[in-house]
Amino acid sequence: MLRTAFGDRKTHSFTTELAMELVEYKRDRIQYLINYGVIHESGNFLELEEVYLRFFEDVLDVNEEINIASVKECIDSLKENIVYYQKETTDKRKYHYLSIVQRKLRDIGVRTIRNVIDLKRNVDTAYKQEPNYDIKIQKLRNLDEKRKSIRALMEACERLMEEDKAFFSFTSNPQMASTIADVRNDFTDAYYNLLSIETQIIEYIHLIEQQNLLIKKIRKLKYLRDQLTIKESTDIIPVVSRMNPVWMENRQYNRMRVSLDMLQSSEEMSALMRRVAEKEGIIRKSRTSALPLTEDELRENVSPLNEVNQQEVWRAFRAGSNNLFSFILSYDYKQERTIEQHAVLFCQLAVQHPNECRITDKYATYENLEYPLIYAK
Amino acid sequence: MLSNTQAIYERLIRGGFLAADSTKADVKRLFKDVEDNFEEYSEFFQQIGFRLESGNGYYYFSTINDSKVDIERRLENFCKWIDYLDFFKTFDSTFSVGYQFSKAQIENEIDVNADLKDKARRLFSQQKTFPEKVEKLIGEMETMGFAEQIEEETATYKVTSAYRYAEDLVNLLTIHHEDEIPE
């Protein structure tokens, strides 16, 4: 229950109801803690008493507030005890004050380091989590003041350690000398950290101011744009004339032609093309492959044409010495031909090659057909 | 050794950016490679007509030859980003590099913030509903590489360092008689 109460300390949302649930509805347990001043009831809420809150924060190292006052108190108390130590005459009492001084010194070192750590965390939190720019910048400025205070206290303490005569006598005590050395080491660490925190604060403030300027400028430009006067009221035209980034071009990704060889190279590609075609709904337009041939179509079914290669016949005729008609009659055709076909071929060859023929005046007769004797030149 | 020319080209040619703080491993890898071999990549892309431009935490392409895009078109593209920047800064004045936002957050803010609602209404006339408009706006951010989705379930996005480019655009302009313009 105490753990939950501590966890809810910032939101002040630890209700009595929740507490009752955590103590298994035994009200006397809560009452016991109230009676001993560990928690107190405020309306319907329960809160840890300040003293325990601080105790837990100190022990758990989770205090968010940078407590400069406590360090200052420590230094004041240190000074007081040094005075007592100097004035004390009995050794036993002197030793008592010496141990108090030693404890206070150690405390100052520890608290300073813790303050520096808290300061660093607070700076980051203020910058990263505070949504309001004005509050953010104010918080950072306040934290910067705290940074200065921590530094001032460290300097005051160092001055004390360097200038107070009592410290010279302390150095003869080995335990005390070691504590002083520890505090000095803590301070050195703290100085370095404070320097980096200072830089960080300056940078954060600078960034915020930049963002503030940016917001103002965006609002002004937007106003001018909405008023349709942005061209006249700014140098936007010359600025955009000088720019040619690709993003302004609304450029589509360059289309590349795919290699036809690649597309025809594999079944995988052809499947891919079919899929694309289907997706684009162009399957019907595209030339589709023919259906496989049937058995019937594959059967050998040759019907030779009764055609003659005239060129071939003419070439053979020219090679011989026979007259054209006799040659045509005796030529080795693949199929039998009629006398009419022979006559047609005779006329065709004679007409097609007038300059290569020697037409004589002599005639011969075949069956009842009279023909002139034509020879190759 | 330029081993990522194709991947870099494919990303930048579409007007995208490479952001230093991208959450995507491949973009991060490309950014690192360009950062390490900037000279070599610049020279390579120069030969095919592109200037590899670098900003604070981002890279992008611009064309070396005079852009074919007319001034009006460029103006329109530029002003479009003034609208978006203004919208985001109205949504949250801390909206900048590193900021995280979800679609639902913007939609909720539109519901309760009259100014933002008005600005949302003027964005993307094609999109009729606010969720559609928000979706489109986030899409624009993602296309440019200015925002990246970091959680799919809650539609949460992170603003990358490339968004600085959009902010830098504003700083390029000089407003005449700035003091006379209301903020």
* Interface touch A240/B177, C-beta < 8 Å: no
CATH for the stretch B71-172? 1.10.10
Q: Does A229 reach chain B within 8 Å, measured CB to CB?
A: no
Q: What architecture is domain A66-223?
A: Up-down Bundle (1.20)
Q: Which of residues 130-149 of A touch B (CB under 8 A)?
A: 131-133
Q: Could you list the beta-strand ranges (E) of A38-116.
A: 39-42, 45-48
Residue B138 banded pLDDT, cuts 50, 70, 90? very high
The structural domains of chain A, with segments of one domain joined by +, span: 2-59, 66-223, 310-376
Q: Between β-strands B18-19 and B58-63, what pairing exists: parallel, antiparallel or unpaired?
A: antiparallel
- Number of CB atoms found within 10 A of residue B46's CB: 12
Contact A150, A119 (CB under 8 A): yes
pLDDT digits (tens, 9 = 90+) for A13-59: 778 888 888 888 888 888 888 888 888 877 778 888 878 877 777 76
Residue among B53, B92, B144 minimizing CB distance to A131: B92
Task: Give the distance from residue B36's alpha carbon to the nearest chain A alpha carbon, in angstroms.
Answer: 23
Contact B162, B177 (CB under 8 A): no
| Interface mutation vs chain A, best among B51, B89, B94, most A CBs within 10 Å | B94
- Quick check: helix, strand or coil at residue A376? strand
The structural domains of chain B, with segments of one domain joined by +, span: 5-63, 71-172
* Interface touch B82/A225, C-beta < 8 Å: yes
Contact B124, B133 (CB under 8 A): yes
Residue among A211, A246, A253 minimizing CB distance to B62: A246
pLDDT digits (tens, 9 = 90+) for A289-332: 677 787 777 777 667 677 788 888 888 888 888 888 888 888 88
pLDDT digits (tens, 9 = 90+) for A210-223: 888 888 888 888 88
Q: Does A246 reach chain B within 8 Å, measured CB to CB?
A: yes
The ipTM assigned to this model is 0.85
Task: Give the distance from residue B29's alpha carbon to the nearest chain A alpha carbon, in angstroms.
Answer: 22
Task: Give the distance from residue A214's alpha carbon to the nearest chain B alpha carbon, in angstroms.
Answer: 8
DSSP A136-168: HHHHHHHHHHHHHHHHHHHHHHHHHHHH-HHHH
Return the pLDDT at B157.
92
CATH domain A2-59 topology? Arc Repressor Mutant, subunit A (1.10.10)
pLDDT digits (tens, 9 = 90+) for A246-255: 777 765 555 6
Q: Which residues contact B101 (CB under 8 A, 6 or more apart)?
A: B91, B92, B95, B156, B157, B159
Residue among A131, A224, A239 minimizing CB distance to B172: A239
